[in-house]
Amino acid sequence: MNGSYASVAGLDVQVDRAVLRLTLNAPDRRNALNDGSMRALIRALEQACTDEQVRAVLLSGAGQDFCSGFDIVGRNAAGASGDKPRTGSIQRRLPTQANRLIPLLLELQLPVVCAVRGWAVGIGAQLALASDFTIAAADATFWYPFLARGFTPDSGSTWLLPRVIGPALARRLLMLDRKFSGTEAAAWGIAHVAVPDEDVVTTAEALAAELAAGPTVALGLTKALLTAAPDHDLRRHLAEEAYAMELSSRSPDFREGLKAFAERRSPDFTGR
């Protein structure tokens, strides 16, 4: 199955030792996404949902930057024939692009690690926020530039940011057009940790490998519980936890965990 993942211009896709490596690769545009790379990114994540060989995802950017957002300039240039899109083109397009990508990252029952160097702008910042663990360079620059461009935030920014960092800080970042560093991102909970720029890739790769060696079923169910919790009252969530425990306790990795505990050794999980 691994060979069926397809790279496209602007996105390299590879499975390496149970880690799906998604590398935004358009360094001349600071790895801005376009329609083609966006579709390929969504397609790879959808495929990973049912790929029994994949146990973690590593999202990164080629060169000095992570992602400078969506290439709006390139899209407008591509449509320079003078024909204007029909009214409502944005709201028709977004459900299949950003509005599909961000929920997919949140709901994917695989741990996602994001490595951020240089710029993380617009949807680039949202990709980092929607990942389970973001390793950021201390001097990376995060930015939600929507209002600076004269339009409103997208990709779930006004939903996810307040839930992660609180409404007051979300207003500051979205409405006052504030850039912030990787160090600040880690302090505010947007990033997992901030490290020197030269350590970002190795730190992210090590964490992805650690997660890929973990109990994949239990990790996926735990992620699902954490994602769903804000929308549940306590009683409903306790019931969801009970279902998840029932399911995970039937996995071979659960039996391996118990055996390793009894034998006083580290478990050797297979992801089953």
Residues 119 and 247 occupy one common structural domain: no
Chain segment 225-252, per-residue pLDDT in tens: 999 999 999 999 999 999 999 999 999 9
Can you give the pLDDT at residue 1?
42
Kindly report, residue by residue over 117-155, the tens digit of the pLDDT. 999 999 999 999 999 999 999 999 999 999 888 888 988
The Cα–Cα gap between 112 and 56 comes to 6
Domain extent, residue 140, equals: 2-212
- Indicate if 158 and 229 belong to the same structural domain: no
122 and 70 share one domain: yes
Which residues 6+ apart lie within 8 Å of 250 measured at CB?
Answer: none
Residue 270 lies in a domain: no
pLDDT, one tens digit for every residue, the chain (272 residues): 445 899 999 999 999 999 999 999 999 999 999 999 999 999 999 999 999 999 999 999 999 999 999 876 655 554 545 566 677 777 777 766 788 999 999 999 999 999 999 999 999 999 999 999 999 999 999 999 998 888 889 889 999 999 999 999 999 999 998 999 999 999 999 999 999 999 999 999 999 999 999 999 999 999 999 999 999 999 999 999 999 999 999 999 999 999 999 999 999 999 99
Is-contact 108 80, C-beta < 8 A? no
CB 22 within 8 A of CB 10: no
Q: How many residues does the chain have?
A: 272
The domain spanning residue 142 has which CATH number? 3.90.226.10
Does one domain contain both 171 and 99? yes
Q: Does residue 229 share a domain with residue 149? A: no
User: Nearest-CA neighbor of 199 among 212, 213, 184, 182?
Assistant: 182
Whether residues 67 and 18 fall in one domain: yes
Do residue 57 and residue 173 come from a single domain? Answer: yes
Note the helical H segments in the chain: 35-48, 72-78, 89-93, 98-107, 123-130, 157-165, 167-175, 182-188, 200-212, 216-228, 234-248, 252-262
Residue 149: count of CB within 10 angstroms of its CB? 11
Residues 114 and 225 in one domain: no
Residues 246 and 196 in one domain: no
